[in-house]
Amino acid sequence: MVDGDKSLVVQDETIIEVAKRNQQGTVPLYYNTRKAPKEPVTSDSRYRGLSTAFTGGNIGICSNNISKIKNSQEIRNPETKQEAMDCLRWLCMTNNLVIDFAKTLYKSTPPKEVKEIISKYTNRKLPAFFKYAKDKSDNQVEEINDCIVNRIFTLYDESKFKIKFADKRRFDYRILMSNPDIVINDNVLTTYKEATRYAKLKIGKEEICNAPVIGDIISTMQKLNYAQYEICDMLIKDMFKEHRVFKDSRCKDFFFRIYGDIVYENIVTNKPKYGLVCVDCGEPLVNNRGNRCRCPKCQKAYRTKYLAEAKRKSRAMSTSSTSKKSR
Ligand SMILES: [Zn+2]
């Protein structure tokens, strides 16, 4: 997904063709607005201007309402399309007025009947794709419909993203740590919890946008009387073993952005120690060929068990097909 500003400069033939097609019959919006009365520029008037821009110039709500209409089923339905388009035009004007509010000090008030029509479209939740675009939860968004952006869902087979860890023994969280025996200091956990509680990452934006938020958390953690790798160890131990702070993926999101480099170093150092052991008995794998995960002894036992199971299944299958035939 791209920002509107970026989509204006793409050279993709298909996008240009679709843009042209969608422009047909579209004319510039015409409406009357107002000008603020003239007044001398003073510190007071500047302050008032800034303050008005902050309090009355928020286009977020209006833009989200426009998204609700653009992605509604009504705009795709020939009977309701006109009404939905009219709503879009009204809200587009409103949005423009809000943007200029600090300069014009003017916002229009829609007549009652217009207000009623608009609210029919806007008194609903956000389109389904906001779950991914703005990190909304399932109960903050509408059911998925087949509006254009929602159709991106169908391009990705969700099962491809689900990784099964059928054999969990292969992962030992201690591989991420520098000292697995570290004693957790409660103050470290509380500080991390507090520092991340209200912090919010911008999803889908360039990493640089999140730098100030991440920087604040780093500075807070640096004030603690521990080395960064020790803090990292304590957090990992909580994440995988004690779960006092790490209860949801939100905390982990910050963690890997802040301590990812230390964790990487630890993995590199620990790999020979933890990475190449038999998943069944834990013995180190020597002369490991073909990326095996079991030592020769356990591999033999595993294979015997596997073959016995396969035979049992095939016997069960043939019995059931015989019994079906006899019916
Ligand atoms: Zn083994």
Q: From the CA of 263, how far away is ligand 1's center (Å)?
A: 27
Domain that holds residue 98: 31-124
Identify whether residues 90 and 187 lie together within a single domain.
Answer: no
User: Does some domain include residue 162?
Assistant: no
pLDDT tens per residue, range 9-18: 888 899 889 8
Contact at 8 Å (CB) between 235 and 246? Answer: yes
Mean pLDDT of the 250-263 span: 86
pLDDT tens per residue, range 144-166: 898 888 888 888 776 666 655 55
How many separate domains does the chain show? Answer: 2
pLDDT tens per residue, range 164-211: 555 545 677 888 999 999 999 999 999 998 888 888 777 766 677 788
Identify whether residues 111 and 55 lie together within a single domain.
Answer: yes
Q: From the CA of 179, how far away is ligand 1's center (Å)?
A: 25
Identify whether residues 177 and 239 lie together within a single domain.
Answer: yes
User: Does some domain include residue 219?
Assistant: yes
User: Does some domain include residue 118?
Assistant: yes
Residue with structure tokens 């100030």? 212
User: Does some domain include residue 260?
Assistant: yes
Q: From the CA of 281, how far away is ligand 1's center (Å)?
A: 4
Alpha-carbon separation of residue 40 from 43, 45, 56 (angstroms)? 10, 8, 22
Q: From the CA of 327, how far away is ligand 1's center (Å)?
A: 47
User: Does some domain include residue 105?
Assistant: yes
Identify whether residues 90 and 175 lie together within a single domain.
Answer: no
Q: From the CA of 162, how far away is ligand 1's center (Å)?
A: 28
Total Cβ atoms within 10 A of residue 185: 15
User: Does some domain include residue 69?
Assistant: yes
3-state secondary structure of 134: coil
pTM across the whole model: 0.53
User: Does some domain include residue 132?
Assistant: no
Nearest to 103 by CA among 46, 58, 63: 46
- How far from chain centre, in Å, is Cα 29? 35
User: Does some domain include residue 98?
Assistant: yes
Q: From the CA of 174, how far away is ligand 1's center (Å)?
A: 20
In the listed set 68, 97, 124, which residue is the last one of a domain according to the structure? 124
